Structure formats: structure tokens, C-alpha cells
Amino acid sequence: MKFVDEVTIEVAAGDGGNGCLSFRREKFIPFGGPNGGDGGRGGHVWAVADRNLNTLIDFRYSRRHEARRGEHGRGSDQFGAAGEDVELRMPVGTIITDAETGAPVAELLVPGERVLLAKGGDGGFGNMHFKSSTNRAPRQKTPGWPGERRTLHLELKLLADVGLLGMPNAGKSTLIAAISNARPKIADYPFTTLHPNLGVVRLAPGQSFVVADIPGLIEGAAEGAGLGHYFLRHLQRTRLLLHVVDLAPFDEAVDPVAQAKAIIAELKKYDTRLKKAAQSGEVDTLPVRSGTATSLHDKPRWLVLNKLDMIPAEQREARVQDFIKRLRWKGPVFEISALTREGCEPLVQAIYKHVEAQQEHLAEPDVRFDDQSEPQAAPAPAPARKTTRRRKPSADAAPDAASDATTQAETYVPASDDPRFR
């Protein structure tokens, strides 16, 4: 499949349906009144992030996307149906900007995320909407509102945890094929990759990360040499860069140290150019996911020395130490052979630990234990009311005894706001 990471499209939401002018007409009902319904809403245009897509090739040949308009209102109090919405499925990592103004619209970073691109027009009002006590036979109606129409620019920046960086023929495609299920083109002759490749590295169930392989850089890419800086945008969201270096180049006159320094210089030139474009307003910066840096030169970068199988075993240690000393490298160094997969397992384990340490872990409540939460203490039952009837003292009783009984009965009547006890 052809890789497309930049395209311009047109979206048009549906217009709203017109309101209806109608009156109720039935036998023996001379003044039925208005019954014209409102028009339906026009369809919206949505952008949906799809994790199963990794290119914008679907929009290369389908540039215009238009939603249906809402139905018109009808008599008998019938409202028009709303127009059907249109969903445009895009890869995760797509940046949407307005092609006319350059203003950012949205950035799809979460699978399943929905963003409204064009809002459908509201439906018009029928004459039933205008009836009142003073206007019993309205003859007003309104047309539907037009839907939004926009020209949008789509730019894809791949979402990967690790990015492979290096000169052409450094063994980047061989490395991603050795540690993941990606199958890029690999051959025994010099050539360069023409489009990025994504691979998922799985260590164990629930332990994985994504690796992005971009076409190789050469010296002078900032001035347009080779493929230039066109694909460096796909490394802006990575958490780690692997600088792959060929320690055994085909041409013995080629110095691996000079090639490594040229790659570092190209990263600085790319960051400088991107910063100037942002200051001049040519590029609108959007927030990126946490744990990443927009500057490629400031990202964590590890050195991966490849093709050690082509160096005699007794010369490897000296060759590696000489390379590190001349490059003045102080970061992590890994010695591998992507062809024989020697040293790939320690590299993969170290990458996963680094990526796992930078990921955000949100504690999500487990719905399975919602019913097993601690039960709340039941309110204490209200004390029973103690009531006593007043007994009328008998005539034979002595006056003092009657007064004592009355006093004793009154002390047992509870003080309450309930009128039943008053």
C-alpha cells in the first residue's frame, strides 16, 4: 500500500430542511389551525481516529465529503428527519488544520476519538411554530440554515514509542524486521527506504511498544538532498530515538564517525528550521502527548552499533571503543547484529523499561468490585414514642389523688412537633 501522510480535502455539512406551511383540514372542523412541522437538521461531518489505519491514502482519491441535508417539514404536525452524519476514519496521529486560515482544528491522539469538522444546518420553522393566542392562523415559515463548508489540510505524524534514525543502509529495516512483525523491503544491495514502517515489538502478554523506521538521512538533507527532512515529522512524538550506525560500511573510505556527526547536525538544523517557522506563524504548534519533546535533538537518544557480524571477533572491542572515543559519546551504547539478532534481546528489554518508565499509568476503578464496597451503616431506628392516655379520676377518689394522677400523666406525654401528640 502506498504511504500518504499529507492531503487536502473538502467537507460540507448538510443543509437544514425547510419549514412547512400547512393547516388542518377535516370534515366538521372549520378552523383546524396550523399543523406545519419544522425541517430536519442537516448531517454533521465527523473525524474518527482509527487505530487500524496508518496512512491517508483513502483521502488521496476522495477529496470531497458531503453529508445529506435534513428533510423538509410536512403537514399533520410532521417534523422532517435529520440528515445522516458522515464519519471520516483517520489514522491516530492525524493533525487537522484549516487550509484557508492555517488555524489548527484538532489532533487525533486517542483511538476512537470523535471531532466535529463541519456542523449541519438547523431546520427551518413551520407555521405551527408561530401560533399563539393572538396569531391563530400564522402563515410564516422559515427556510433551513446552510451547513458549514470547509477546506481542511490533513497531516499524519505517526504515533510510535521508539524511532530509528540513521544513514541509508545502516540496517534500520533489518533491525525492525528482527525485533517485530514488520516486513519492510530488505536486500543485499545498497538502497534506501522510501516510506516509514511501523512495527509492534511484543515481549510478553501486555508488554509491547511501537517502533517507527523512517527513510535514512544524508548530509545536506536540510538543503533538500535525498528525501530531505520530509519524514522527520514522524519522530516528533517518539519517546526514544535509536541512532543506528553501520560499523562495517561497503566503502572503506566512509568514516562512520563522520556519518554519525552528520546525522546529529541534521537534527539541529531541523529543530532550528521548525522553531523559526513556529515564530513566524507558518506552523501552528499543537500539544503532543506527555513524555515526549518536540525538539528531536533534545530527545533521549541511544547509540546502536550495527553489523558487528562483519567485523572479526578479535577486532570488535577495539573498533567500538575507538568509535565512541572519536564521537565523544557519553550515552548508552548497544552492540548488535540485526542480521543474526545478536544483542537484540538486551536492547529490546532496555527499550521497554525506558518506555514503561515514561508512560502515565492512570488508576482506573475496577467495576467488578463496585458492589462489594463497604456497606454504609444503617441509621439507628428512632426510639419508640411512649404515650399514655389521660385517665379521668373517679369521683370517689380524693381530690389530692386526682391532682397527682393528672400530674403523673402529663409527665409521660412526649414533647413533639407532630400534631398527633399535641
Beta-carbon count within 10 A of 76 CB: 10
Q: Identify which of 372, 369, 414, 413 has the alpha carbon closest to the alpha carbon of residue 391.
A: 413
263: alpha, beta or left? (left if phi > 0; alpha if psi -120 to 50) = alpha
Share of the chain above pLDDT 90, in %: 19
Residue 118's pLDDT is: 93
Query: pLDDT tens, 343-394?
Result: 889 998 998 888 888 765 444 454 455 554 455 555 555 555 554 455 555 5
Phi, psi for residue 232 in degrees, rounded to 5: -70, -20
Cell numbers 572519536 correspond to 326
Query: pLDDT tens, 130-185?
Result: 888 888 889 899 999 999 999 999 988 777 788 888 888 888 888 888 888 777 77
Beta-bridge partners for 64: 10
* Whole-angstrom distance, CA of residue 212 vs CA of residue 162: 6
SS3 of 277, please? Answer: helix
Helix residue ranges, H only, 117-231: 172-179
Residue 259's pLDDT is: 85
Q: Determine the length of the chain.
A: 422
* Whole-angstrom distance, CA of residue 326 vs CA of residue 255: 11
**Helix 344-358 vs helix 172-179: angle between axes, to the nearest 10 degrees?**
80
* Whole-angstrom distance, CA of residue 226 vs CA of residue 155: 21
Which residues, in sequence order, are CB contacts of 86 under 8 Å at separation 6+? 11, 43, 44, 45, 46, 65, 66, 67
pLDDT surpasses 60 at 125: yes
pLDDT surpasses 90 at 59: no
What's at 263, amino acid-wise? I
Phi, psi for residue 339 in degrees, rounded to 5: -70, -45
Whole-number mean pLDDT of the chain? 78
Residue 10's pLDDT is: 93
Alpha-carbon torsion angle 103, 109, 112, 113, nearest 10 = -40
Q: Identify which of 237, 233, 193 has the alpha carbon closest to the alpha carbon of residue 213.
A: 193
Confidence of residue 281 (pLDDT cuts 50, 70, 90): low
Query: pLDDT tens, 197-214?
Result: 778 888 877 788 888 887
Confidence of residue 402 (pLDDT cuts 50, 70, 90): very low
Q: Identify which of 201, 161, 164, 162 has the alpha carbon closest to the alpha carbon of residue 180.
A: 201
Q: Identify which of 87, 86, 84, 104 has the alpha carbon closest to the alpha carbon of residue 96.
A: 104
Confidence of residue 225 (pLDDT cuts 50, 70, 90): low
In our burial notation (b when 16+ CB lie closer than 10 A, e otherwise), range 295-318 reads ebbebebbbbbbbbeebeeeeeee
**C-alpha Rg value of the chain to the nearest Å:** 38
Q: What is the mean pLDDT of residues 235-247?
A: 84
Residue 71's pLDDT is: 92
pTM above 0.75, yes or no: no
- The full 3-state SS of 211-269, as one line of letters, equals EEECCCCCCCHHHCCCCCCCCHHHHCCCCEEEEEEECCCCCCCCCHHHHHHHHHHHHHH
The helix (run of H) or strand (run of E) holding residue 333 is strand 333-335
> Among 7-11, 29-33, 277-281, 288-292, which range has the highest average pLDDT?
7-11
Residue 228's pLDDT is: 54
In our burial notation (b when 16+ CB lie closer than 10 A, e otherwise), range 329-342 reads beeebbbbbbbeee
Q: Which residue has the higher pLDDT, 22 or 227?
A: 22
pLDDT surpasses 70 at 34: yes
Q: The sheet that has 94-98: what strands, in order across it?
A: 64-66, 6-12, 149-156, 94-98, 104-107
Q: How far is CA 28 from the centre of its chain?
A: 61
Q: Are 201 and 153 in contact (CB under 8 A)?
A: no
Confidence of residue 403 (pLDDT cuts 50, 70, 90): very low
Alpha-carbon torsion angle 177, 181, 182, 188, nearest 10 = 30
Residue 373's pLDDT is: 47
